[in-house]
Structure 1
Amino acid sequence: MSSLFPTYSRWEIEPDWAEGSIMYGKDGKKYLDYTSGIGVCNLGHRPKVVEEAIQEQLKKFWHVSNLFPVEIQETAAAKLAQAAEMDLVFFSNSGAEANEAAIKLSRKATGRSKIITFNQSFHGRTYATMSATGQDKIKHGFGPMLETFIYVPFNDLAALKEVMSDEVAAVMLEVIQGEGGIHPASKEFLDGVEALCKEYGSLLVIDEIQTGIGRTGKPFAFQHYGLKPDIVSVAKGLGSGLPIGGIIAKGNLKDVFGPGSHGTTFGGNPLSVSSALATMDAIFQDSFLAEVNEKADFFRAALEENLLPLPNVNEIRGIGMMIGIEINQNVPDLLKNLRSNGFIALPAGENVIRLLPPLTTTKSELEEAIDILTKVLTQNLGAAV
C-alpha cells in the first residue's frame, strides 16, 4: 500500500532514465516523451547547460533566505523582465503561487476586489487560484469558493463588456487555454480585453504558466498579439524541472509590493534561479526561437496532412509547440494505446490530445511522433464515442 495520497491517476510507466525527448521506463522500454513534464522540460530532459549551472551553484550555497541580496536573483529577474518588455519580478515556487501573487498585487494596487476570469480556464489549485479557475470539476467537495471572481465565456467580448465595471481589479486570462482544451484566444478578443481594462482602470493579468518561456515560438504567447499586460505569471518551463515560478509586472506597481507586503521562504531559491537563468539564456535567443518556429510549422502541417482526413479527428489547433488534437473518441484509452506504441502525450479538456514536445526535439522525432499518432488513430477508427 502506498503512503501517498491518491490524488493522481498514475500511468503504467515508471521512469528510470531520461534525456532530451526520450524516456526509458523501468521495464526497459523506450518512449518518445511529448509531455515535457506537462510543459516544464522545454529544453528536454536534463539539458546539459542547465545541469552545469545547477552544479556550479551547488558548490556555493543552496539556501540563505530572501533576507539577503542574491546576485543571481537580480540577474535572472533582469533577464526575465527584459524578455517580457516589463520591469519587475517576484520569484515564487510554482505557478499557483505566481497566480496568488498576481491576484494579491491586482487587488492591492487597485483597491478593488473583483477579478474576471473565463470559463474553462485553469489557474491553479490553491484556494484563490482554484476560485479563479473556470472549471467546476476541480472545485467539487471543497465548499464555497471566493465570491469575488466572475466567470465569462472565453473569446466572447460582448459577455465581458456586460460585467466590466469600476469595481473590477483585473481581468485574468490565458492567451491559449491549456488545461481547458488548447483554445487560442482571437486577436480581436484580446485587443478588446486590453481596451476594456484601460477604459475601467483594471489591470490586465496574463497567465503564461504553460504558454511562456518559448513554448509558442516567442518568449511569451502574449507577444504574438502585441499586448501590453500589467502582470504576467510564469512557472513550468522557467526552471527546466526545478521548482520556480514568478510574476513579471510593470514598474508603476513597484511600491504596491513593498517590504512586508508579500513573501516566500523558498521562492527565488539559488538552485532554482540558476536553472532558470541557464534555461532563459538558451531559449531567449533569436536563432533558437527561429528553429522552434520552423519545427513547429513542419509539425503542424504534417499533423494536418496526416490526421485531419481521419473521421475520428475533428480539429487541430494551437500555436508553436503547444498543439491540441480534438478527437471524437475516449482520450484516456487512446493515450494508453499511444504509450504502448512508445509515445507519451497528455489530455486537455474532455476530448483533446495535448502535445507539448521539448523545444529541442528533432525533425526525425517529430516524424516518428506523426507516424505513431497516425497509426494509432487509424487503428482506432471504429472506437468513436
Structure 2
Amino acid sequence: MDKMYLSEDIPNFEEFIINASKRLNIDEDTLENGFKRKLITKYEYNGKKYLCFKKKLKHIERGTILFLNDNLDFIQGYPKIRRAMVLESAVEKYFDNKIAVEEKLDGYNIRIVKFYGEIIAITRGGKICPFTTKKVKKYMNTKFLDDFPELMLCGEMVGLNNPYVSHYYPEADKNHENLGFYIFDIRNKETNSAISISEKEKLLDKYDIPYVKPIKIIDSSDFEELWNLLDDLNEKHREGVVLKDLKMIKNPIKYTTHNTQCGDLSVAFKYVYDLGIDFMFSRLVREGYQSFEKCENEEEIKKRSHDLGESILTPMVETIKEISKDGLAKECFELYFDSEDDFNEFINYLKTMHINFAIETREYIKKDVFKAKICRIYNSTSNKIKSHLEGNLW
C-alpha cells in the first residue's frame, strides 16, 4: 500500500487504523485493505471531514460514514434488503406467523441523524447531501432526534422535484414542489438494530413524522392476499412491497411489480451505454420467475414479452433520434431551493461527486423560491451513439 499517499490524506495514518479498527470493531488488516482497494473515500461537509465506505467490509455496511473527529463517530449504512425471486418459496423459508406488508416506494434511501447538534441527511451510498439535509430540516419534525440522538430515521425521499429519482407521487404534493419523506425504519446508528413495527409507529405518530404504514398485516401463509396486494400495486404502477417480521428480528425481503421492472428498463435504455447492461439482466430474470410463479398462459407470456420489449426498444430509439439531431442523452430534474446560495452549495456538492451535469435554467420565481433545471449528462451513451451514427463500427 502507498503509505505516503494515505498519510497525506489522513494524518498519523497508522495510529488512525489502530483507533478506527477498535471503534468499528473490525480487524486492522481488513480496514487497511479497504483503503488499498479504494473502497473507502474521504469527503467533507460544512468543515466536517468524514470517510465513506463504498462497499461492505465484513459487518460494516456499504454507505457507512466515519467522521474524522477525536471520537471517530460513525453511522452505519442501511443494510441491503435481499430480493425474493420466487415469492412464495422465499416467504415460506424466511418467515412464520404474521408479516407486515409495506409498500416499497420509488425514491432514494436516506438516513437522518443528529450529529453534534446538527441534523444531516445521508444518502444510501454514504454522502451527506446538502439538498436533502435542507429539505429534511424544512419539512420534517426533527425533535425526535433531540430526544433520541442514538437513533437514525431511515426513509425514502420521493417525488418529482428531487435530484436522484424523479417519480410523481400525488401524496407528496406540497406548495410548489412534489417532494416527500416517508420513514420506514428506526435503527440504532451504530449497531443498526431496528425497533419493532409497533414501537416505530407509536413513536412516529407521537412526533407527527410521516412514515410508510403497512398496507396490511397478514399471515405469512396467506399468499392469495399477498398476490392481491401486489396485483393492486402493479395496476397503480407502484413499485412493490417490503415484507417485514413484526419484531424486526429477521431481515426484511423485497419484491417488485411487473410495471416497475418495465419502468426501470425504460429509464435504463434511454441511457443505454451508461445504464442498460447493469439494469437489463436482473430485471429480465425477475420477470421470468414472476411469469413462472403466476402460472401464466401463452397469451399472458406474450403480453409480458411485449411490455418488456417496448420498455427496452422505444426509449432507446428515442435517444438515438435525439442524438441524431445533435442532442445529448440527459436526465433533467427541476429543483427548488430557498436561496441562490443553497443552489450554489448543491452545485458544488455535485462537482465533488464528479457528476457530469449542465444547468439549463435558474431563476427566482418568488422572493424565497429559487428554481433550477439541472440535467445529468450521460457521456457514454451520447458519444457512442454519435460515433455509430457517423459510421464507426461496433
Q: Flag whether TM exceeds 0.5 (same fold).
A: no
TM-score (norm 2): 0.25
Between structure 1 and structure 2, the one with the greater Rg is 2
TM-score (norm 1): 0.25
State the structure with bigger RCO (CA 8 A, min sep 6), 1 or 2: 1
User: Which has a greater percent of strand?
Assistant: 2
